[in-house]
Amino acid sequence: MDELLLEQKAQAIRRDIIEMLYRCQSGHPGGSLSCVEILMALYYEVAHVDPTNPSWEMRDRIVLSKGHGCPALYAILADKGFFPRNDLWNLRQIGSHLQGHPDMRKTPGIDVSTGSLGQGASVAVGLALAAKYKRAPYHVYVVLGDGEIQEGMVWEATMSAAHYKLDNLIFILDHNGLQIDGTNDQVMSLGDIIGKFHSFGFECKKVDGHNVDMLVKAISEPVPGKPLFVLAETVKGRGISFMENNVGWHGKPMKTEEYTQAMCELKGTQNV
C-alpha cells in the first residue's frame, strides 16, 4: 500500500474506532488509537491471514495482548472482510460477537482471547513453540501495552521465549507512556525497556509506532535463533487533539460535542 493510501486507511480506521466507542458509550479510546498503525503494519503488510478462512492452519498468528485496544483490531478485521462492517456498531452490546475484550470463540479472525493483561504473551509463547514442534513456518506477532509489561508474567514469557530460541515470535510494544493511573513513570517506572528485553535474550529495535513503513521494516527482519522485540513509540489518543497524551482518555465515554469534534478532526482525508 502506498503512503497516501495508508494514511487514508488509518484515518478511516480511527473514524470507525470513534464511531464504535461513541455508540456504545464505553471502551478504551486512548489505547485503541495508539496501536492503529502497529495493527495496520501487521494486517495489511506483514502477516499472512485469509479472511475467507480465518482458521487456516498456516496463517500467521496475531495476539493483541493489550486486549482493551480491540476497537482498532475490530475495525481492521471488518475492513479486511473477516465480518461485515455493520457489526462494528454493536460493539459491547448483548448478542454482539464483538466483546469488550477479544474473544477467539466469538469473533472470526481473533487468534487468542485476551483482556487480562500479560496472558497474551504466554499464550503466544505456546503458539510459537507449537509451530516449531509442528515445523510450521508461520510467525506469531504479539502487541503488548506498556502498562502491561509491569505484569510479572510478561517476563516469565520473555525468559521462556529466549530459552526456546523462538525466532518465530515477535513482541511489539505499543509504548504510549500512559496507563490508567498516570504516566508509566508515576505508576511504576519501566526503566530501560530495550535494555531489559535485550538482557533477556531478545533482538531489540525501536521505531516510530505511527510510521507503517518503519514498523513493517522492523517487524519483517527477525534474527535466527532469537525472538524479536520492537519498541514502537506511540501517542496515546493519536489523531484526536484533545485525547492525545491525555491520561483521562484511557477509558472514558465521549460526549456528543467531543464525538463531533473528533470526527471533524479525522475528516482531513477522504473516505477510503
Partner 1 sequence: MFESKSLRVAYGEALAELGSIDQKVVVLDADLSYATMTSIFASKFPDRFFNFGLAEANMMGAAAGFAHSGLLPFVSTFALFGVGRAYEQIRNSIAYPNANVKFGLSHSGLSVGEDGASHQSIEDIALMRVLPGMTILVPCDPFETRKAVFAAASLDGPVYIRVARPIVEVITNEDSTFTIGKANIMRKPGDVCIVATGLMVKEALAAAERLSLHGIKAGVINMHTIKPIDAELILEMASQCRAMVTAEEHSIIGGLGSAVAEVLVGKSNIKFARVGIQDKFGRSGKPEDLFKAYGLTADDIAQQCIMLLE
The three grid cell numbers given for residue 33, joined into one nine-digit string? 488509537
Binding to partner 1 by residue 259, rule CB under 8 A? no
Binding to partner 1 by residue 105, rule CB under 8 A? yes
Instruction: Please state the closest distance from residue 59 (CB atom) to partner 1, in A.
Output: 11
- Rank residues 10 and 228 by Cβ distance to partner 1 and give the closer one: 228
**What is the C-alpha to C-alpha distance for residues 194 and 141, in angstroms, rounded to an integer?**
18
The candidate with the shortest Cα–Cα distance to 27, out of 238, 258, 249, 265, is 249
**What is the C-alpha to C-alpha distance for residues 174 and 262, in angstroms, rounded to an integer?**
22
Q: 525497556: which residue's cell?
A: 193
Binding to partner 1 by residue 263, rule CB under 8 A? no
CB 238 within 8 A of CB 244: yes
Contacts of partner 1 in 18-57 (CB under 8 A):
57
- Rank residues 6 and 228 by Cβ distance to partner 1 and give the closer one: 228
Binding to partner 1 by residue 107, rule CB under 8 A? no
Binding to partner 1 by residue 201, rule CB under 8 A? no
Binding to partner 1 by residue 152, rule CB under 8 A? yes
Instruction: Please state the closest distance from residue 140 (CB atom) to partner 1, in A.
Output: 8
- What is each CA distance from 79 to 9, 22, 66, 68, 109, in whole angstroms? 9, 19, 21, 19, 12
> How many CA atoms, within 13 angstroms, populate the side-chain half-sphere of residue 197?
24
- Rank residues 119 and 184 by Cβ distance to partner 1 and give the closer one: 119
Instruction: Please state the closest distance from residue 104 (CB atom) to partner 1, in A.
Output: 6
Instruction: Please state the closest distance from residue 170 (CB atom) to partner 1, in A.
Output: 15
Contacts of partner 1 in 160-179 (CB under 8 A):
160, 163-164
Binding to partner 1 by residue 137, rule CB under 8 A? no
> Side chain identity at 185, as an amino acid letter?
D
Rounded to 5 degrees, what are φ and ψ at 223?
A: -110, 130
Which H or E run contains 255?
none
> How many CA atoms, within 13 angstroms, populate the side-chain half-sphere of residue 239?
31
Q: Which residues bind partner 1 (CB under 8 A)?
A: 57, 103-105, 111-113, 115-116, 118-131, 133-134, 152-153, 156-157, 159-160, 163-164
